[in-house]
Copies of this chain bind each other. A is one copy, B any other.
């Protein structure tokens, strides 16, 4: 992975559907050489894949919150039960197992606050072993490289 590869990855970050000839031109390479590099990055796993980026608002995901969750039980069964519930909940887009005063950090996306409240009471509130919930409502994201 040299500077040229990084330049290629930067371009694919901005536009993942750029044509190979345009990409080659941007990084000052011939199309064939450029394609070989991209394919090598895909083969070796540096490139995991490509995905579309959609507008959260237009997808009914205009509201976002981060939620710290504390479990009263630290058994494997309790963790697996909670993780299963989160993986099934469509509002939960991220579920991180963290080290510290809480066990989990969630990113929850919904249409609005009332829909979030429903998730809070009906999904999180009904989970056994959940003994602490702290919500941080996102008011804005001055930087979000994972979304752009």
Contact = CB atoms under 8 A, between A and B. Distances in A.
Interface of A: 1, 9, 12-17, 44-55, 58-59, 64, 66, 68, 83, 86-87, 92-100, 102, 105, 107, 134-148
Chain A interface helix/strand/loop/mixed = strand
20 contacts: A12-B51, A16-B17, A16-B49, A16-B52, A44-B58, A48-B148, A49-B53, A51-B51, A64-B96, A66-B98, A66-B105, A87-B142, A93-B144, A94-B141, A96-B142, A97-B138, A97-B140, A99-B139, A100-B134, A146-B147
Given A9-B52, A87-B142, A87-B143, A105 B136 contact: yes
Q: How many copies does the complex hold?
A: 2
Nearest to A64: B96
